Homo-oligomer: A and B are copies of this chain.
Amino acid sequence: MPANQQFLLDNRPAGEAVASNFKLVSSETPPLQDGQVLVRHHYLSLDPYMRGRMSDSKSYTAPQPLGEVMLGGTVGEVVESRSPRFQPGDKVVGMGGWQLYSVVNADEPGALRKVDTSHVPLSYYLGAVGMPGVTAWYGLVKIIEPKAGETMVVSAATGAVGSAFAALAKARGCRTVGIAGGPDKCRYAVEELGFDACIDYKLHQDAASLSKALKEACPDGIDGYFENVGGMVLDAVLPRMNAFGRIAVCGMIAGYDGKPMPLTCPALILTSRLKVQGFIVTEHMDIWPEALKELAGLVATGTLRPRESVAEGLEAAPEAFLGLLKGKNFGKQLVKLI
């Protein structure tokens, strides 16, 4: 059996996550049982939700157990199969974790999915045509329920979720405004991702200043907001929301290190009659086929051209992940493993 390399969660962060929370180990992949397949990973996906799993606090899912392989989405190729459902050479997407190979029980529903790489590059199944894309779709279509002519705003605009959100919102005839960090990302959002405007939050010291910039970029107010960040950005958006606005809460990365992150003026939820709703896309598997179909179509026609930030080799995963938490990535953060 081939030699595997794995990153385990060795210890939990005290405050900010650090590289020494992870531990690299070598192991042999075990022999396959009936119904199992061996997958060689081509790409590992790094996503903000992983930070939540590293902590032991009450959250929506069980924490990542210590001493086990860090969880994570992967795309790769079947190299050995004892399942009639998969053949060596099949391209697959699954939750293989931070390692070079994974052994998967192929009969477990949703464990492994064959994908077609004739029109969509394999790595995109971890981003625009994968979990992040479906996340954008669910928040926009099922929570925000946009109407043509409305104004949509998304934070972390050039990330995997934000770029899919822009393409989906533009396809519905909405004015689409991003919030991102730095002039390069903002320029890219407008020139490449189709945003009508993008605000650099790093130019603003406080919520009042950012809110003023939002007012200029959204002259008709904000009808839908897709929240990836929380903290000051949410404080800045809230006063700009129109009556009956909808906020889909997908992430609050600003608070992942345990910093207190209060909402300054929740009374605006009442005075503007807002709907604020949190969600986790893996709890809504029924909408994935419809969402993936639209996203694959947007990619195939070139409407959605997601950017990727690719780290080379499994050893690079921890630093790439810590950078992602600080917004150092530019587009979907991947680790290339082959």
Contacts and interface: CB of A to CB of B under 8 A. Distances in A.
B276 A255 contact: no
Contact of A277 (B59, B267, B275): B275
A127 interface: no
A265 B234 CA distance: 13
Given A273-B279, A280-B273, A261 B252 contact: no
Contacts of A15: none
A276 B273 contact: no
A266 interface: yes
Given A60-B273, A271-B60, A275-B277, A266 B252 contact: yes
Interface size class on chain A is 20 to 34
Nearest to A260: B264
Interface in A245-277: 249-252, 255, 260-267, 269-277
A247 B67 CA distance: 39
A287 to B, nearest CB: 15
18 contacts: A52-B271, A59-B271, A230-B267, A234-B266, A252-B266, A252-B267, A255-B267, A262-B263, A262-B266, A263-B266, A266-B266, A270-B278, A272-B278, A273-B277, A273-B278, A273-B283, A275-B276, A275-B278
